[in-house]
Amino acid sequence: MADSSALPGETLLETPLGALHRELGGRMVPFAGYAMPVQYPLGILGEHLHCRAAAGLFDVSHMGQAELVGAKGTEFAAAALEALTPADVAGLKPMRQRYALLTTDAGGIFDDFMVANFGNRLFLVVNASRKHEDFARIEAALPAGVTLKRLPDRALLALQGPGAAAAIAPLAPALAAMKFMDVAEVTIAGVPCFVSRSGYTGEDGYEISVPADQAETFARALLALPGVAPVGLGARDSLRLEAGLCLYGNDIDETTSPVEAALTWSIGKRRRMEWNFPGAERVREELANGTQRLRVGIKPEGRQPARGHTAVHVPGGDAVGEITSGGFGPSLGGPMAMGYVARAHAADNTPLELMVRGKPLAARVAAMPFVANRYAR
């Protein structure tokens, strides 16, 4: 898990739920400049398994939220955003959301983000560690008549797990009809919310944007629902890794391309015909001729996990890559990792060796997700 630890003398920011985390026994750690709960008294293992079995509530208010508005309509805002991303934003239907990448001129990944079409505006959620850079990059590229409105006065909560929909149904019956990647504007427990049926765990669930001054009251209402428990960053990391989902700064960054990262599915078909997004030349060349390395899933044999920056070798031979995220999968029941390996060694079931504490650990390339996703299709 990436951990932007506080520098000496640095004051960590607080989300609107900071006091509630401490009241609930959350152990706070520095993360992306914020004090965030890594776990609660239930512990990372218990929180992870609870989210897989029932419903977990996560505070993700450190993420960046913004609206993109076009004076002449949302299509103009979409066209402006497409100057920075290979995603098909113009083809995004009202009340739908999709995953997208901001790319660099050199074809690297500046950040990954979510974009939703609320009809009269686009709603963006970007990574906490990159939000200031992302918003500055977007603002610098906007034509006249398109405006980015940052939303620092909103909190973001994620209710995740197979029991999430049933738990929140008494407060918001309309959410049950939503499908994966649908969005809606709904009043829940008296609070006006922007809701998407999505998340970062591989489970069904919702991400809910609420006014910051009502976030604690709202969170308490959700925690009072049957089967809902608070979950911290530790379990969020193990859940997303079991689901095969990338963490920016670990698994993707400006040195990785969408093709290397196995994220070409996020590039719209129309955009592959236009080739008019940043880094298009590199992406086009790699799609045609392949890359030198690929992001793959890796399963170590035995019980010992291999962490990020662990060197990956051919058995008894040369280094061919590096792990970018690794740990123990509570639902998987064993260690798991993802990372980049030379293309010749990227096929499923290819034998590898991981150098852990100076000793070789046998492993194999494995398909992701490690635990099947259960989205509400």
Give the pLDDT confidence of 279-327 residue by residue, as tens digits.
999 999 999 999 999 999 999 999 999 999 999 999 999 999 999 999 9
Which 8-state DSSP code applies to residue 343? G
Same-fold call for 18-61+155-242 versus 292-377: no
Which is nearest to 97 in space by CA: 107, 106, 87?
Answer: 87
Average pLDDT over residues 258-274: 98
Does residue 2 surpass a pLDDT of 80? Answer: no
pLDDT digits (tens, 9 = 90+) for 48-95: 999 999 999 999 999 999 999 999 999 999 999 999 999 999 999 999
The full set of domain ranges for the chain reads: 18-61+155-242, 292-377
Q: Show the DSSP H helices in the chain as ranges.
A: 18-23, 43-53, 74-81, 131-141, 164-168, 215-223, 233-242, 269-274, 280-289
Domain 292-377 has CATH 2.40.30.110: yes
Q: What percent of the chain has a predicted confidence (pLDDT) above 90? A: 97
Domain 18-61+155-242 has CATH 3.30.1360.120: yes
Prediction pTM value: 0.96
Confidence at residue 7, expressed as pLDDT on a 0 to 100 scale: 52
Confidence at residue 10, expressed as pLDDT on a 0 to 100 scale: 72
Handedness of CA 307, 240, 149, 156 (dihedral sign): negative
